[in-house]
Amino acid sequence: MKPIVQISLDLTNIDEALETAAIAMRAGVDWLEAGTPLILAEGLHGVRELRKAFPETPIVADLKTMDGGYLEAEMMAKAGATHVVVMARAHAETVKCVVKAGADFGVQVMGDNMVSESMVDGARWLEDLGCDFIIHHIGYDERRGIAAAGQRMPSPLDQLREVVEAVKVPVQAVGGLSLEQAIECPRYGAPLVVLGAPLTIDADAFKTADGDLESSLRLICDAVHSQEVDRD
C-alpha cells in the first residue's frame, strides 16, 4: 500500500480535536485517530463528532481494548469509526471478538503489540488471530520511566524491520519517534505514518503544539506521500 499519514488526536476536548483535525485535513493528512485521551474524555460523542465533520475520512478509535471486545468494537463502529485497536496482551478470545465485530460491522482491526514479551511474536500472533494491521508500539509511560532512570529510551525503530518481516499485513510504528524518524517509517516497510504526541501534540499537556501546525503537517505529508514503501 502507498504511505498513509495518520494524525493522533491525543487531546481531551472535542472542540480542539475538531480544530486540529481540520488543520490536518487541509494539510493532506489521510486518516484521523481518536486518541485514547480523547476517547476517555469524550467517548462515543467524540467519534460521532469527528464522523459528522469528516464524513469520508477513515477514523481510528484507539480503544486499546483488553476485554469486552465485541461490544467495544460494535459501539465505535456505530459511532463512525472505521478502525479499532485491540491489545496483544488481551486474551485471544478478546482479539477474536474484536475481529468478529469488525467483520460484522465493517471496521478493520489494528492489533497493538505494546509490552508483548516478544514484540515480533506479538505482532505475528495478532495477525494469526485476524488483525488487519499491526501497531508496533513502545508505550508512553515505559519510555518516560526508562529515560528517567538514566537509560537509553527504547524506540519502535529498534525492531521495526523485524516486525515488518514477520507479518504480511501493514505495520505502523508508534512511540517517541522524532519527526524525521516518523517520516522514515515507509523505508522500513511500515506504510502507516502516525503523527501525534510529541510530534504534533504537546506530550505533557495533551494540547495542540505551538507553532504553524498546518505548514509543518503539509511538509510532512508531502515527504511521506512521495516515498515508496520498502518492503521485500
**pLDDT tens-digit readout, 151-188:** 998 899 999 999 999 999 999 999 988 888 999 999 99
pTM exceeds 0.85 for this model: yes
Q: Which residue has the cell 460491522?
A: 105
Domains and CATH numbers, the chain: 4-225 (3.20.20.70)
Query: What is the pLDDT tens value at each position of the chain, 232 positions in all?
Result: 899 999 999 999 999 999 999 999 999 999 999 999 999 999 999 999 999 999 999 999 999 999 999 999 999 999 999 999 999 999 999 999 999 999 999 999 999 999 999 999 999 999 999 999 999 999 989 998 998 999 998 899 999 999 999 999 999 999 988 888 999 999 999 999 999 854 665 556 545 566 678 888 898 899 999 998 887 6
Q: Which residues pair with 79 in a beta bridge?
A: none
Nearest to 82 by CA among 24, 135, 133: 133
- 163 to each of 52, 116, 156, how far by Cα in Å? 35, 12, 10
Separation of alpha carbons 116 and 123, rounded Å: 9
> What are the pLDDT digits (tens) for 68-90?
999 999 999 999 999 999 999 99
Structure confidence at residue 204 (pLDDT): 64
93-96, long-range: CB within 8 Å, 24+ apart, which pairs? 93/69, 94/65, 94/66, 94/67, 94/68, 94/69, 95/69, 95/126, 95/129, 95/130, 95/131, 96/69, 96/129, 96/130
Gap between the Cα atoms of 35 and 42, Å rounded: 10
Do the Cβ atoms of 167 and 204 come closer than 8 Å?
no
* Rounded Cα–Cα distance for residues 25 and 53 (Å): 11
The three cell numbers locating residue 192: 502507516
Q: 90 Cβ partners below 8 Å, 6+ apart?
A: 65, 66, 67, 69
